[in-house]
Amino acid sequence: MSGISKKIYAGACLLAAAFFPGMLRAQNRRIVWSDREKPILEQLRKLRSLPDDERVRVTITLADQIRQLPAGPNRETLAESLANLVTEGDPGPRALQEVATTLADALHDQPAGGTEQPAMPYITLAQLVRYEHVRASSDDPRFAAAMAKLEDDDRARQNADFTLSDLHGKSWRLGDLRGKVVLVNFWATWCPPCRKEMPDLETLYERFGSKGLVILAISDEDAAKVSPFIAERHFTYPILLDPGRKVNESFRVEGIPKSFVYDREGKLVAEAIDMRTQRQFLEMLARAGLD
């Protein structure tokens, strides 16, 4: 799942592994990396630390290198891991398409097993198709099931409502915000991509708050952890607490960050499956008529 999976996350100590759900599944089999695969694995582990321009270039190169590997479970694991990393930020259409093609090819040559219904690699590919607008297909019924799951998730998010309190005790109900443009953002203090996009959310809140933008940032952590984090960084948009994860579950949030934009009529018009840049957030808000 793109973003950092909370099912994978038992704590911050699993941070590195959370970006490679395919590799975690690979732990259930005896895995041996070839001499061709080891350098790719090492570059994947370092990808998030690269400057944005270099990261895009390396991502495209990695996609090509993975496609050249022999068919097998290792190739599928590497392709899925790259696909889970490419959605973070703004890699551009070429990088997204290269990665999606690589994953689709790997799944064609080595259909993914596992007990997930549908299997996670097919969900990852379906997310790229549905939310990042790449071209990829598969005749595997698990891909069709993954696309159907995403459609069902979006219906749930369209119909979702909630009431949560912010750090100051104020109650917020999504259904009461008709007439406003609402950006619902799921995040956590331990999540690096979440932290990276928060200054941009603050900038947007300052720019568009007077024009009807409401940002509701939802964390499933407790106030004792969230409050000092926010106070230190001086973010002013509402921070809501969902310690029981009921709202996370109603929005089908399995990885963070995730963002959903509702227009003034309450229609879900844009969503992000991972970290977004300010430019990408502006595009999302424009779909709600805010520019």
Q: What CATH code is carried by the domain that includes residue 209?
A: 3.40.30.10
Q: How many domains does the chain have?
A: 2
Do 76 and 177 lie in one domain? The reply is no
Which pTM does this prediction carry? 0.87
Do 168 and 108 lie in one domain? The reply is no
Whether 291 is in a domain gets the answer no
Do 146 and 185 lie in one domain? The reply is no
**pLDDT truncated to tens, each residue of the chain (291 aa)?**
456 554 333 333 333 344 455 555 555 557 899 999 999 999 999 999 999 999 999 999 999 999 999 999 999 999 999 999 999 999 999 999 999 999 999 999 988 765 557 789 999 999 999 999 999 989 999 999 999 999 999 999 999 999 999 999 999 999 999 999 999 999 999 999 999 999 999 999 999 999 999 999 999 999 999 999 999 999 999 999 999 999 999 999 989 999 999 999 999 999 999 999 999 999 999 999 998
Whether 243 is in a domain gets the answer yes
Final residue of a domain: which of 135, 155, 175?
Answer: 155
Domain containing 247 equals 163-286
DSSP assignments along the chain, one per residue? --SEETTT-SSGGGHHHHT-HHHHHHTTS-----TTHHHHHHHHHHGGGS-HHHHHHHHHHHHHHHHTSPSSHHHHHHHHHHHHHHTSS---HHHHHHHHHHHHHHHHHS---SS-SS-HHHHHHHHHHHHS-------SHHHHHHHHHHHHHHHHHHH---EEEBTTS-EEEGGGGTTSEEEEEEE-TT-HHHHHHHHHHHHHHHHHGGGTEEEEEEESS-HHHHHHHHHHHT--S-EEE-TT-HHHHHTT--EE-EEEEE-TTS-EEEEESS---HHHHHHHHHTTT--
Whether 244 is in a domain gets the answer yes
Do 26 and 130 lie in one domain? The reply is yes
